[in-house]
Amino acid sequence: MNYKAPLDDIHFILHELAGLDAICALPESAGLGVDLVHAILDENARFVQDVVAPLNRIGDIRPPVWQDGRVTASPGFVDAFRQFAAGGWQGLQHPEQWGGQGLPKLVGAPAIENLNAASLAFSLCPLLTDGVIEALLQVGSEDLQQRFVPGLIDGSYTGTMNLTEPQAGSDLALVATRAVPQQDDTYRLYGQKIFITYGEHDLAENIVHLVLARTPDAPAGIKGISLFVVPKYIEQDGRQVRNDVWCASLEHKLGIHGSPTAVLLYGSGKGEVGEGAVGYRVGELNRGLEYMFIMMNAARYAVGLQGIALAERATQQALAYAHERIQSRAVEGSDGPVAIIHHPDVARLLQTMRALTQAARATAYVAAAMHDQAHRNPDSSQRDASRALYEYLVPVVKGFSTEMAVEVASLGIQVHGGMGYMEETGAAQHLRDARILPIYEGTTAIQANDLLGRKTLRDGGKVVQKIVADMQATAAELARLCESESDKTLAGSLALMQARFAEAITAYADSARILLTKAGGDIRGVFAGSVPHLMQAGVVFGGWQMVRSALVCLRRRTAGEAGMFEQDKLDVALFYAGHILPRARDYASQIEAGLTIPVALRQS
């Protein structure tokens, strides 16, 4: 099954919802015209469709192979990575002074989404490398930057994040890897890291590991963790020698088979450097976790894009099958069997998939625009407001888009019926691939704690209030358009949209308020509502974008400028309002229940 970049929807969102023109007009975006953005995205679409998409199934059925510590990537991955690097795709969002293109996140986001839709397993490598580049540029010394950043951007090197250890997953306070300072200002690292994505492979000449570890006298807990760069090869006396970091094995995972997930051993004494992996400290001692969050935040947003990407690909595949597969007569009567897309429940499943995907995409791109405003707007108050909204949205984009991806991929199997369960069809792979997304880079619960704790309770709900006010303005606009609609069926649909949007806003605002109110008391009850509240925020924020989309389409319709795209977008937006937005109230009920009924397992 081929993948086709959904450029129509991407451009609609970029222009109509996320304000691409405003981003292009910022002083720092000098020279970035809309035409150039289109050209970049066209070229991106061609590249991912032709070069990367064919790897998706190959990676699944022929995963990387480990032998004696070396890992050979899936067939075709080396060549595709070379083309990826040569095309300059790794540098898209990185500074021009380091060899990148310095494009705004709003342009990077669709490019990264499409890359991931083409092959999630392939795209994980650049995703991690992006994080390493960002961390080094923000907190690395000039020396470290010069040694590693150009190679990371030109594809000579790739990057990894080494957080997890067997006993330390979500709880990084338990990290035990040791970093022993040496007289030459380097460190020697000893320990075991697990779940290291692209921890070992043959795509590039070197691998730059960013590693969390403890120095001997460091305080216990998260305040004693420092960050180190440990390259696979280091330069010694003018030649590249093998450092003491080794891939002990690869994991056998449910999905993303094409992506090697490594167990890495530091300091087992087998390298050419003596015992201990040579590492360089990044930034100050004991601030490692803080630095790692620089990578984590970028990576979390990117994992959200992965969810959207996977949902898009699963949706395209299910749509194609539903058009082809002829089965059963129409419920309203037909001469013979019809394509299953015609059956009401199949249409419902497909519209659910499309609505969730498009809404999550809109949310993610709006968030990207906020990131760009936060970094590029000359007005500091606008920067601050944008930053606050972006930071609020990162856990929403990560949590909601990834949970949504699992749902959509599962529905995609259902549309295929029995064929969906057969691996050759490819629909099942999407579910297997998607299932990691709500887990890695922080589970949905971790995202929800971030959203509720750091992004909602800490500012007393200010960002939420701003969002609610803006949504209400959109609701008022919708109400005005509803009144003047003369098409009776459409008027009925719009009235339902209006009612559901109003209810959803109320549910979201009420839930945030009640969680804020109770936070001083029943803290367990409050945090039992954290994931429902995150999902609620995702549903409502996405619904807001769908209402905004509908308004654009209605206006174009009035102006006689609406074609097939506008008609379809309006259908999807109405569907979202009718079928997805009611979840906001369901989540509100769950939040209320969490605060009423003690959440604890007395027995099990």
Q: Which of residues 417-456 bind its own copies (CB under 8 A)?
A: 417-424, 428, 431-432, 435-436, 438-440, 443-445, 448
Q: Is 334 in the site for its own copies (CB under 8 A)?
A: no
Nearer to its own copies, 238 or 563 (CB): 563
Asked if 210 contacts 228 with a C-beta cutoff of 8 angstroms, the reply is yes
| Candidate ranges 45-53, 94-102, 406-414, 542-550; the one touching its own copies (CB under 8 A) | 406-414
Q: Is 594 in the site for its own copies (CB under 8 A)?
A: yes
C-alpha–C-alpha distance, residues 55 and 83, integer Å: 13
Query: Which parts of 58-117 interact with its own copies (CB under 8 A)?
Result: none
* Residues sharing a CB contact under 8 Å with residue 226, sequence separation 6 or more, in sequence order: 179, 212, 213, 214, 215, 218, 281, 282, 284, 285, 286, 287, 288
Nearer to its own copies, 388 or 562 (CB): 562
Residue 441 falls in the annotated catalytic set: yes
Query: Which parts of 499-558 interact with its own copies (CB under 8 A)?
Result: 500, 523-525, 527-528, 530-531
The nearest distance, CB 133 to its own copies, in angstroms, is: 24
In 92-229, which residue ranges form alpha helices assigned H by DSSP? 105-118, 120-139, 142-154
Q: Is 604 in the site for its own copies (CB under 8 A)?
A: yes
Q: Which of 270, 348, 454, 458 touches its own copies (CB under 8 A)?
A: 348
* Length of the chain measured in residues: 604
Nearer to its own copies, 139 or 452 (CB): 452
Nearer to its own copies, 208 or 574 (CB): 574
* Residues sharing a CB contact under 8 Å with residue 443, sequence separation 6 or more, in sequence order: 170
Residues in contact with its own copies, total (CB under 8 A)? 96
Query: Which parts of 458-497 interact with its own copies (CB under 8 A)?
Result: 489, 492-493, 496
* Residues sharing a CB contact under 8 Å with residue 396, sequence separation 6 or more, in sequence order: 363, 367, 447, 451, 534, 537, 538, 541
C-alpha–C-alpha distance, residues 119 and 306, integer Å: 10
The nearest distance, CB 257 to its own copies, in angstroms, is: 10
Closest to 303 (Cα-Cα) out of 153, 457, 176, 120? 120
* Residues sharing a CB contact under 8 Å with residue 47, sequence separation 6 or more, in sequence order: 83, 84, 87, 89
Query: Which parts of 117-176 interact with its own copies (CB under 8 A)?
Result: 164, 167, 169-171, 173-174
Query: Which parts of 215-254 interact with its own copies (CB under 8 A)?
Result: 251-254
Q: Which of 33, 69, 269, 598 touches its own copies (CB under 8 A)?
A: 598
| Candidate ranges 275-283, 286-294, 507-515, 585-593; the one touching its own copies (CB under 8 A) | 585-593
At 201, is the secondary structure helix, strand, or coil?
A: coil
The nearest distance, CB 35 to its own copies, in angstroms, is: 26
Question: φ, ψ for residue 494 (rounded to 5)?
Answer: -65, -35
The nearest distance, CB 476 to its own copies, in angstroms, is: 22
Q: Which of 142, 217, 332, 335 touches its own copies (CB under 8 A)?
A: 332
Q: Which of 331, 379, 384, 469 touches its own copies (CB under 8 A)?
A: 331
Closest to 577 (Cα-Cα) out of 464, 468, 498, 472? 498
Closest to 90 (Cα-Cα) out of 145, 138, 127, 118? 127
Q: Is 590 in the site for its own copies (CB under 8 A)?
A: yes
Nearer to its own copies, 23 or 322 (CB): 322
Asked if 388 contacts 447 with a C-beta cutoff of 8 angstroms, the reply is no
Closest to 23 (Cα-Cα) out of 323, 375, 282? 375
The nearest distance, CB 379 to its own copies, in angstroms, is: 38
Q: Is 361 in the site for its own copies (CB under 8 A)?
A: no
Question: φ, ψ for residue 87 (rounded to 5)?
Answer: -75, -5
At 599, is the secondary structure helix, strand, or coil?
A: coil
What residues pair up with 277 in beta bridges, in sequence order? 189
Point out the catalytic residue in the list 441, 561, 566, 592. Answer: 441
Write the CA distances from 114 to 10, 53, 297, 433, integer angstroms. 10, 10, 20, 16
Largest Cα span, the chain: 85
Query: Which parts of 289-328 interact with its own copies (CB under 8 A)?
Result: 319, 323, 326-328
Q: Is 335 in the site for its own copies (CB under 8 A)?
A: no
User: Among all residues, which ones are annotated catalytic?
Assistant: 441
